[in-house]
Structure formats: structure tokens, C-alpha cells
Amino acid sequence: MHQAPYPYPATLIFGIPGAGKGTQGDILKSIPGFFHVSSGNVFRQMGDATEEARMVRECIRAGELVPDELTIRVFLEHLEAKRHSGEFKPERDLLLLDGIPRAAVQCHLLRPYIDVKLILHLVCHDEDGMIQRIRRRAKLENRPDDYSVEVIRKRFAIYQRQTLPVLQEYPPSVIAEIDSNQTQAEVLLACLSALVPVFKANFPRKLPAGG
């Protein structure tokens, strides 16, 4: 197997739970050149077969963050499996990371592997609206951990205390604030307006020779 070409260029889709990160990630991943990884989806696919998987499941059910080193290990194993299978092609794909890093220490653990070029910070102050959005998703996708209002509010508190400080780990110049109270189309347009220049700078296409 070829050695991984670390660090991979990446964009973080960042924001409080319910701000619309998953919605935008699901749309953007359909566009060639963007490879979306949701840590929440990766964790949920682990099942309960191992002690680590059971630990992850319990953290999710309680609304807690998965321990940092376990988070990074599971994420890297998933990403490298996708690279080896050919689904993720580092020479042409910009990573879109949703749900990682979720704490400042995770930023430091990821630095040898991930080069953050842009942060799409989806900003939403409508707490009741976010709660309803999360509960609708929980019902549609059978996520019992997302249906309890108590657990949702706990996740909001953890975000403010542990995840929001992640923004301080990166220069303001790479942070694009996006109002996620807009329509999905307007949020997508704002995301692409920030993403396209970053993609072109990191994956320049060679012009055909001749005139």
C-alpha cells in the first residue's frame, strides 16, 4: 500500500448541532471533487461488536463527546479505508469534515494528517428551531439519541464549552461565517462561494496544450 500523502487539504463544516451541517454535507458530497466525512455517521456504523464501539455508542446516547484519541483513531481508520478502496482520492478530492475536530485537543492530534484550508461556520441562534430540526431528523433516520430534548440541550452546552473554542485554533482568515437561517439553496450558494476558490487553489487543473 502506498504511504498516505499527509496532510490532506480539508474544509471543516462547523456549527452547533442542528445548524444544518449534515444537510449541506449531503448536498456537497454529490459534487465531484468533494469528499464528505461525518464523524457521527462513522460512529453509528460501528455497531456494538467491540468494546470501543460500545463506548462510542454509550457516549452518543448520553450526548457526550467520544474520547479524543479514540475519535481520531476511528476517523483515520475510516479515511484510510476509503483511500485504499479508491473512494477517496487525495490527489483530486477536498475533504469536507463534519463533526471533527470537536475539541481543541483534537485539532492538535489531527495536524499531522489534516491541513485545514477553510472553515464553513454555519451560524444559527434559533435554539428552538434547531431542537425541532434535530428531532425531525431523529424520527426520520431512527436516531433515538437525537430525540430527547434533555440530551439535545446537553449537546448544546457541550458545544459551547468544548467545541466552539476549536475556532480559536485557526486563523480568522480561514473562517467563513454563514447564516444558516437562510433557505437551503442560499446556504449552499454561500458555502460554494467560499469553497470553490479553496478547491481551485489546492487542485489546479492544467490547461490543455495548444491554441
Q: Residue 83: its pLDDT value, please?
A: 97
pLDDT greater than 80 at residue 208: no
Among 35, 119, 127, 139, which residue's Cα sits nearest to residue 81? 35
Instruction: Supply 86's cell numbers.
Output: 479508491
Q: Residue 211: its pLDDT value, please?
A: 44
Residues 27-56 pLDDT 10s:
999 999 999 999 999 998 887 888 999 999
Residues 52-82 pLDDT 10s:
999 998 998 888 999 999 999 999 999 999 9
User: Which residues face 96 on adjacent strands?
Assistant: 11, 36
pLDDT above 70 as % of the chain? 96
Q: Residue 2: its pLDDT value, please?
A: 65
Phi, psi dihedral angles at 11 (to 5 degrees) = -120, 135
Give the range among 1-5, 8-12, 125-129 with minimum mean pLDDT.
Answer: 1-5
pLDDT greater than 80 at residue 206: no
Average pLDDT on 172-201 reads 97
Phi, psi dihedral angles at 81 (to 5 degrees) = -65, -40
Phi, psi dihedral angles at 38 (to 5 degrees) = -105, 120
What average pLDDT is seen over the chain? 93
pLDDT above 90 as % of the chain? 81
Q: Residue 142: its pLDDT value, please?
A: 82
Total Cβ atoms within 10 A of residue 205 = 7
Give the range among 51-65, 82-96, 137-151 with minimum mean pLDDT.
Answer: 137-151
Tell me the Cα Rg of the chain.
Answer: 17
Q: Residue 209: its pLDDT value, please?
A: 53
Q: Which residue has the cell 448544546?
A: 156
Q: Residue 1: its pLDDT value, please?
A: 47
Among 121, 133, 146, 35, which residue's Cα sits nearest to residue 85? 35
Assigned CATH topology for domain 11-201 = Rossmann fold (3.40.50)
